[in-house]
């Protein structure tokens, strides 16, 4: 089923690919206690599911990613966000694997999200949309996996927020996963990260065009707030090394300073560019819902302050292997947290591996071409 | 891939099939890969170099990037049959601590090390008056990672001080195994470039679980610990 959906400031209708409706009979209970039923999940698949249905790989997208992981994104008209990684004869080879990527619930690319129409009111959910957790997103993904008749995924792979989803798969559905690959991720969202998220949320909510979350009804769009949220967040996705390497102190105007508050530096220009691109494709309320879900993620407190007990059930799946990948200059999800995660798994005798790949792309390194990352993922998926 | 470095091959022969093995400082996983393919072991590795870890992961191995001196703590007690430390103990800050850690997490420790008391080293010091640099210890003094060199006898003494039992020892040159040193420890200490030791805890030995190590058909000179072992077996 395909639907048309409106996007951001462009406010034009665009066809989004595959969409199915779930929980038609049994509602899905959310962490908040609310229940949802007959809700949509938008997804893309690549390659073919084999007869045994054991060659499926679920890719979990990051905070503002979407299901267009390996084909052209209909809104940005750009390649999928991991197009170099997934495809025929690529590191995640679709000649061999059936790759699924779905838009998380709470998102804005066709899955159940705040800009979709609430059938009860025939209006966008807006401020009525329920707050979610990473676990809710994974429970929804599980319904999609069930629809394909897949009893065990060959692998669940995700970076950042997607890595949290991969971990949540290990906690919630330990028998349904064979390989887990959380990249640039953590067992929790740190206080520093929550702080950055809050700045982003406040930027949106303080934009007068946010209208208490009901901007769509009032034909407005808090683009300045959303753009500012993206600018702030984007700093955290890079690193000191990557900013230095990309821009240094280069000036936009080679003649010198403007002696004004206008954009003088290339790095400023870049952040504005990122902010402006973002408002064309992302829904401000989705940003609030998803950042909140990420903030709530903490497997350690979920299991009474004992992180290792989060993985007791996973350790009963003798087949399961976990490969934790960190990046050396990622300060948002530092390698130290990956190490703590590794330890919590190792004490449960889980077959866990850890590698910190040398990078100069900051947190976003998992989205960038990296020979070592590509060959490592390829080997892990083929040899296990 | 069925060929591995000759000393790794001899080390691999010490390991029983289907065992749980932790290779500390596993590099790109040559030994683990060999053991997995040929002895069906359940192998894991720890390695400090991220490039080597990636290479090992590409081969389908499970490796944690970490520092053996700090990170062995992540493994629970007795979670492996063997912990292997090949050509690394001389580069650690605290060899006794790492030996005890290995025997906390595994029933047997297998340690190989270069023998600093090898004849060639002695001659280099004696006649050239310089720190030895050769195939088995290829670094200049100012760049060597080997901060805790020892001789074979020194290492045996350390095991003894730590109340550990050397179940087997094997002496190696660069490409041969030395045999027939019954009781001639001093000669081995002169001629062996490397020592390879299978070590266990006294408690473990007494619990009678050493069966395999003992049955393993390798001709080696026995240490003083062995006669008591033989006695036990006859019983």
Average pLDDT along chain A: 95
Residues of B in contact with A321 (CB under 8 A): 62
| Mean pLDDT of the B168-197 span | 83
Residues of A in contact with B62 (CB under 8 A): 321, 351-353
CA angle centred on A208, ends A216 and A203, rounded to 5°: 100
Distance CA A140, CA A29 (A): 10
Q: A321 and B62: CB-CB below 8 Å? A: yes
Give the per-residue pLDDT at B207. Answer: 59
pLDDT digits (tens, 9 = 90+) for A215-273: 999 999 999 999 999 999 999 999 999 999 999 999 998 889 999 999 999 999 999 99
Residues of B in contact with A320 (CB under 8 A): none
Average pLDDT along chain B: 86
Distance CA B122, CA B129 (A): 10
Is A283 an annotated catalytic residue?
A: no
Is A160 an annotated catalytic residue?
A: yes
At B23, which helix (H) or strand (E)? strand B20-24
Cβ neighbour number for residue B49 with a 10 Å cutoff: 14
Q: Is the pLDDT of residue A85 over 90?
A: yes
Specify the range with the lowest mean pLDDT, choosing from A32-46, A220-234, B40-54, B184-198: B184-198
From residue A188, alpha-carbon distances to A92, A194, A230, A312, B51 in Å are 27, 10, 21, 18, 27
pLDDT digits (tens, 9 = 90+) for B34-43: 999 999 999 9
Interface check A342 vs B, CB under 8 A: yes
Q: Is the pLDDT of residue B45 over 90?
A: yes
* Secondary structure of residue A164 in the 3-state scheme: helix
Q: Is the pLDDT of residue B234 over 50?
A: no
Give residues 29 to 58 of B whose Cβ lies within 8 Å of A: 44, 50-51, 53-54, 57-58
CA angle centred on A14, ends A8 and A16, rounded to 5°: 110
Q: Is the distance from CB of A338 to CB of B20 less than 8 angstroms?
A: no
Q: How far is B76 from chain A (nearest CA, A)?
A: 6
Interface check A309 vs B, CB under 8 A: no
| Mean pLDDT of the B168-184 span | 78
Give the per-residue pLDDT at A254. Answer: 83
Which chain A residue lies closest to B45 (C-alpha atoms)?
A353
| Mean pLDDT of the A125-130 span | 96
Nearest to A124 by CA among A11, A274, A247: A11
Structure tokens at B71: 């990170």
Which of A349, A376, A382 lies at the smallest CB-CB distance from B76? Answer: A349
Give the per-residue pLDDT at B223. Answer: 41
User: Which residues does A61 contact at the CB level (< 8 Å), separation at least 6?
Assistant: A67, A69, A81, A101, A103, A104, A158, A161, A162
Q: How far is A373 from chain B (nearest CA, A)?
A: 8
DSSP string, A1-43: --EEEEETTTTEEEEE-EEEEE-SSSPEEPTTS-EE-SEEEEE
- Cβ pairs bridging A and B (under 8 Å): 64
Give the per-residue pLDDT at B178. Answer: 82
Q: Is the pLDDT of residue B208 over 60?
A: no
User: Which residues does B208 contact at the CB level (< 8 Å), separation at least 6?
Assistant: B232
Catalytic annotation, pick one of A154, A189, A197, A363: A363
Is A264 an annotated catalytic residue?
A: no
Confidence class for position B226, pLDDT limits 50, 70, 90: very low
Interface check B76 vs A, CB under 8 A: yes
Q: B53 and A352: CB-CB below 8 Å? A: no
The domains found in chain B, sorted by start residue, are: 6-234 (3.40.50.150)
| Mean pLDDT of the A304-309 span | 96
Q: Is the pLDDT of residue A327 over 50?
A: yes
Interface check B75 vs A, CB under 8 A: yes
| Mean pLDDT of the A3-19 span | 74
Q: How far is B51 from chain A (nearest CA, A)?
A: 8
Q: Is the distance from CB of A329 to CB of A335 less than 8 angstroms?
A: no
Nearest to B81 by CA among B233, B171, B213: B213
Distance CA B17, CA B67 (A): 27
- Strands B63-65 and B42-47 come out as parallel
Interface check A355 vs B, CB under 8 A: yes
Residues of A in contact with B51 (CB under 8 A): 372
Interface check A380 vs B, CB under 8 A: yes
Q: Which of A180, A312, A353 to mutate to test binding with chain B, by most B CBs within 10 Å of its CB?
A: A353
The domains found in chain A, sorted by start residue, are: 3-190+303-383 (3.40.50.1820), 193-290 (1.10.1740.110)
Q: A352 and B62: CB-CB below 8 Å? A: yes
Nearest to A357 by CA among A381, A328, A378: A328
Specify the range with the lowest mean pLDDT, choosing from A7-16, A174-183, B112-121: A7-16
Give the per-residue pLDDT at A253. Answer: 87
Query: Which string of b and e fits A351-370 if b means at least 16 CB within 10 Å?
Result: bbbbbbbebbbbbbbbbeeb
Which chain A residue lies closest to B78 (C-alpha atoms)?
A349
Q: Is the pLDDT of residue A86 over 60?
A: yes
Q: Is the pTM of this model over 0.80?
A: yes
Which of A342, A346, A372 lies at the smallest CB-CB distance from B54? Answer: A372
Nearest to B25 by CA among B77, B79, B54, B64: B64
Catalytic annotation, pick one of A330, A338, A360, A365: A330
């Amino acid at each position: 089923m395909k639907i048309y959906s409106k996007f951001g400031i462009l406010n034009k209708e665009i066809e989004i690919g595959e969409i199915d409706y779930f929980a038609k009979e049994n509602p899905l209970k959310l962490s908040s206690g609310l229940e949802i039923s007959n809700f949509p999940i938008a997804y893309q698949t690549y390659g073919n599911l084999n007869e045994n249905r054991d060659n499926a790989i679920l890719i979990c997208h990051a905070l503002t990613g979407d299901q267009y992981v390996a084909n052209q994104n209909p809104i940005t008209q750009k390649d999928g966000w991991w197009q170099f990684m997934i495809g025929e004869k690529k590191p995640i080879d679709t000649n061999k694997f059936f790759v699924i990527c779905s838009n998380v619930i709470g998102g804005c690319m066709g899955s159940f999200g705040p800009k979709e129409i609430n059938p009860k009111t025939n209006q966008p959910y807006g401020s009525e949309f329920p707050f979610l957790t990473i676990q809710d997103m994974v429970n929804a993904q599980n319904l999609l996996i069930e629809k394909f008749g897949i009893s065990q995924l060959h692998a669940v792979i995700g970076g950042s927020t997607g890595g949290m989803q991969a971990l949540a798969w290990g906690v919630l559905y330990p028998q349904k996963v064979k390989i887990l690959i959380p990249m640039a991720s953590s067992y929790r969202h740190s206080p520093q990260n929550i702080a950055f998220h809050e700045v982003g949320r406040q930027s949106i909510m303080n934009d007068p065009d946010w209208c208490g979350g009901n901007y769509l009804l009032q034909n407005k769009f808090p683009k300045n707030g959303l753009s500012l949220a993206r600018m702030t967040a984007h700093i955290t996705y890079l690193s000191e090394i990557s900013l230095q390497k990309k821009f240094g102190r280069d000036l936009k105007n080679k003649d010198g300073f403007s002696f004004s508050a206008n954009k003088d530096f290339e790095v400023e220009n870049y952040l504005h560019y990122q902010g402006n691109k973002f408002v064309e494709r992302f829904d401000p309320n989705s940003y609030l819902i998803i950042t909140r879900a990420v903030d709530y993620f903490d497997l350690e407190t979920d299991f009474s302050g004992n992180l290792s007990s989060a993985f007791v059930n996973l350790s009963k799946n003798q087949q399961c292997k976990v490969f934790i990948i960190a990046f050396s200059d990622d300060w948002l999800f530092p390698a130290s947290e990956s190490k703590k995660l590794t330890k919590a798994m190792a004490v449960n005798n889980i077959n866990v591996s850890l590698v910190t790949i040398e990078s100069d792309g900051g947190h976003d390194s998992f989205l960038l071409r990296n020979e070592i990352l590509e060959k490592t993922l390829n080997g892990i998926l083929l040899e296990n | 891939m069925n060929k591995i470095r000759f000393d790794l091959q001899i080390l691999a022969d010490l390991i029983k099939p289907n065992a749980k093995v932790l290779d500390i400082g596993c590099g790109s996983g040559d030994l683990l890969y060999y053991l997995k393919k040929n002895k069906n072991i359940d192998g894991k590795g720890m390695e400090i170099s991220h490039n080597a870890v990636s290479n090992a992961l590409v081969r389908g191995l499970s490796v944690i990037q970490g520092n053996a001196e700090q990170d062995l703590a992540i493994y629970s007690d007795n979670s492996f049959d063997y912990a292997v430390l090949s050509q690394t103990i001389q580069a650690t800050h605290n060899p006794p601590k790492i030996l005890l850690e290995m025997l906390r997490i595994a029933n047997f420790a297998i340690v190989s090390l270069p023998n600093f008391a090898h004849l060639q080293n002695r001659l280099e010091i004696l006649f050239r008056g310089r720190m030895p640099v050769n195939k088995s210890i290829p670094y200049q003094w100012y760049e060597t990672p080997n901060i805790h060199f020892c001789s074979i006898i020194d290492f045996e003494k350390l095991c003894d001080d730590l109340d550990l039992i050397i179940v087997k020892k094997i002496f190696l040159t660069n490409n041969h195994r030395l045999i027939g040193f019954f009781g001639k420890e001093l000669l081995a200490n002169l001629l062996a470039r490397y020592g390879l030791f299978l070590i266990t805890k006294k408690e473990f030995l007494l619990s009678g679980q050493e069966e395999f190590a003992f049955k393993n058909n390798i001709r080696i000179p026995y240490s003083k610990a062995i006669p008591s072992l033989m006695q036990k077996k006859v019983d």
